[in-house]
Structure 1
Amino acid sequence: MSLQWTIIASFLYVEIAVVLLLVLPIASPKSWQRLFKSRFLQSLSSQASIYFLVLLAILVLFLLDAIREMRKYSNIETGEHVHLNTEMQGNMRLFRAQRNFYISGFSLFLSLVIRRLVTLISAQATLLAQSEAAMRQAVSATTTAKSLLAQKSSGESAQNDSNEAHDKAVSELKNQIKGLNKQISELEAELQKEKKDKEAVTSQAKSLVQEYDRLSEEHAKLQSSGDKKVE
């Protein structure tokens, strides 16, 4: 394997490891959010989109090169008049082109998967933080309402003039509580949607890993059959 394809294959292995880290329940979304907002990553975030587009362009170029090689060596004529050594070399080059196609294709696909996983995890962490803040506001508003109601019931005989103001404050607090409960319900619905999206991406990533293992086994079988032919 040439140097450039060795680098692409190593990059693919790193991508598989990153996908497994993001998919497995190793850390909570808040922990990943803190990592994403670290100083080092924040320093790169301003140019992250440029780096990502450059990476995609490089992977697309390698993918197109692999496709070109596959088409080139797929059109090699085979027959009795062709020397066995020439045919073996052609098949070997075709196999290498197919291997490079799968390596570059999976690398390109996993790059998109990782970007989507990071986006979903960040959105989930944000929704969790918003939900917790809304819950704290609801608890605070409920406590205030109960306190006002208790004060109203204990000093009703001595505070007839302030009953109207208390009722208005209680009504406003109840409206706030209803609004906060509605906001909590919406946030929970959005959180469930993000969890479903994450599970779908997780399932795709697992299928991708299984497909890669299967291709690796086929690679090993083809290589062993090729060695037998050479002997």
Structure 2
Amino acid sequence: MSLQWTLIAGFLYLEIAIVLLLVLPVASPKRWNSFFKSKFLQGLQKQAWFYFLMLLGILVLFLLDAIREMRKYSNLEAEEHGHAHLDREMQGSMRLFRAQRNFYISGFALFLSLVIRRLVILISEQATLQAQSEASMRQAQSATTAAKSLLAQRGEVEQNESNEAHDQEVNILKSKIKKLQEELTLEEKDKTALKTQADNLAKEYDRLAEEHSKLQKKLTISAQNDKKDE
């Protein structure tokens, strides 16, 4: 294998290792994103697109060269089949095999370059979405906590207001009860006074009735005495 194809093959093996690292759960998307945004890679980011396009161009050139070699040796093998010497035929088959090998190497290297770039973009977007989701969750949790605290404060205010209203009602009822008790006391005093007055009137009536009876007796006796004197 020539030097350039050895380098492309080594680059292909490196790409396979990178794809495995990106696909397997070696690190979280957040860590990969922090690695992609490191100072070293950020310094190369301005020239990365140029290098990537240059790499794609080189791989495309090698791919086209491999295709050309394949077509060349395929046509030679078809033309000299049955007429060439065995050694020459084996050399042609070997060159065709190398051209096919180079085609697969350059083709897979080109394909994996596009795959790696797409994986990097998707991992970065996934990390960004995860960060946004975590931020949204934190905002939702903080909003829920704030809403619960507001509801609790509102409940406390309503409870305090209800307690104050209850206390006011109790005070009003107490004042009414006190007023009724005072009125009841006055009624009892009036009732006692009326009862005492009634008792006094009954005694006075008895006394007057007794005096009246005595007077009637006296009058009767005096009347009888007058009749006797006549």
TM-score normalised according to structure 1 size: 0.67
User: What is the deviation of 1:82?
Assistant: 1.4
2:58 aligns with 58
User: What is the deviation of 1:81?
Assistant: 2.9
1:110 aligns with 112
Post-superposition, which runs of at least 4 consecutive aligned residues in structure 1 deviate over 3 A? 157-160
- Structure 1: stretches of 5+ with no match in the other structure: 161-231
User: What is the deviation of 1:4?
Assistant: 0.4
2:38 aligns with 38
1:144 aligns with 146
Aligned equivalents of 1:48, 1:4: Cα separation in 2: 22
RMSD: 1.4
Matches within 5 A, 1:210-221: none
User: What is the deviation of 1:74?
Assistant: 0.5
User: What is the deviation of 1:79?
Assistant: 3.6
Aligned equivalents of 2:58, 2:81: Cα separation in 1: 37
Aligned equivalents of 1:80, 1:110: Cα separation in 2: 40
Aligned equivalents of 2:22, 2:31: Cα separation in 1: 11
- Structure 2: stretches of 5+ with no match in the other structure: 163-230
Please tell me whether residue 84 in structure 1 is matched to residue 90 in structure 2: no
1:134 aligns with 136
- Deviation larger for 135-144 or 74-83: 74-83
Q: 1:80 to 1:134 in 2, by over 3 A?
A: closer
User: What is the deviation of 1:156?
Assistant: 2.6
Please tell me whether residue 67 in structure 1 is matched to residue 67 in structure 2: yes
- Please identify the structure whose Cα radius of gyration is greater: 2
Please tell me whether residue 14 in structure 1 is matched to residue 20 in structure 2: no
Report the identity percentage: 75
User: What is the deviation of 1:41?
Assistant: 0.5
2:103 aligns with 101
User: What is the deviation of 1:159?
Assistant: 7.3
1:216 aligns with none
2:169 aligns with none
Aligned equivalents of 2:23, 2:82: Cα separation in 1: 52
